[in-house]
């Protein structure tokens, strides 16, 4: 049951696909090996453990989310960049719910590289908030509230709480607009 051309990248992508389909809790090395057409023991030629493979899938998920956010904000300025970030964040979570859950589990995984990748997301938000909030501690407070609002909305939406005829998209946009309306551009920013 050997397969020529098997690489760490193929294993990682196949693992991510399986997790996307079935969730991390239902993921197993046995199923991954079956999907790849190899013996389970052959997987360990490419990865040291299931934990290492899951951390690698988590890093790939964060990287994909980072790319989506960077693309969304790349040509935007000011509050438009924050709105674009919020829209891209929700879009990623909606289209990749199981990978999004993995990203949320980062703090519980004891993997420094994975945690460092997660900090990139937060640091981008801090940078976008800097023209509005001078004090770092205040930026952290606002960023936590902003991320919590987005995640809370996404969680309720995923649990199918928004069933009436009022558009969930409109509700999300209104929520983000309300949060962003509390920001005022600082006058002490030099051009």
The topology under which CATH files domain 60-181 is: Tetracycline Repressor; domain 2 (1.10.357)
Would you list the domain boundaries of the chain?
1-47, 60-181
Range 1-47 has CATH code 1.10.10.60: yes
Task: Give the C-alpha separation, 90 to 71, whole Å.
Answer: 14
| Beta carbons within 10 angstroms of residue 20's beta carbon | 18
Predicted model pTM: 0.85
What is the structure's pLDDT at 110? 66
Measured in degrees and rounded to the nearest 5, phi and psi for residue 40 equal -55, -40
pLDDT tens per residue, the chain (191 residues)?
445 678 889 999 999 999 999 988 999 999 999 999 999 988 888 888 888 898 889 889 999 999 999 999 998 999 999 999 999 999 999 999 999 988 887 766 666 766 677 778 888 999 999 999 999 999 999 999 999 999 999 999 999 999 989 999 999 999 999 999 999 987 655 44
Asked if the domains at 1-47 and 60-181 fall in one CATH topology, the answer is no
Using alpha carbons only, what angle is made at residue 66 by residues 62 and 72, rounded to the nearest 5 degrees?
145
Task: Give the C-alpha separation, 1 to 14, whole Å.
Answer: 17
Sign of the alpha-carbon dihedral angle for 70, 71, 76, 79:
negative
């Amino acid at each position: 049951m050997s397969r020529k051309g098997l690489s760490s990248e193929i294993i990682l992508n196949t693992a991510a696909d399986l997790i996307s389909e079935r969730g991390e809790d239902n993921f197993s090395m046995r199923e991954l090996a079956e999907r790849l057409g190899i013996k389970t023991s052959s997987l360990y030629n490419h990865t040291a453990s299931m934990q290492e493979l899951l951390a690698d899938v988590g890093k790939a998920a964060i990287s994909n989310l980072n790319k989506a956010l960077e693309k969304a904000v790349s040509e935007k300025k000011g509050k438009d960049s924050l709105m674009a970030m919020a829209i891209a964040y929700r879009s990623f979570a909606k289209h990749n719910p199981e990978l999004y859950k993995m990203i949320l589990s980062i703090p519980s995984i004891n993997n420094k590289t994975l945690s460092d990748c997660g900090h990139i997301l937060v640091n981008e938000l801090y940078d976008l908030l800097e023209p509005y909030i001078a004090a770092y501690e205040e930026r952290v407070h606002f960023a936590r509230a902003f991320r919590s609002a987005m995640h809370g909305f996404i969680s309720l939406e995923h649990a199918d709480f928004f069933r009436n005829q009022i558009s969930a998209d409109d509700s999300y946009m209104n929520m983000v607009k309300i949060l962003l309306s509390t920001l005022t551009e600082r006058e002490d920013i030099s051009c």
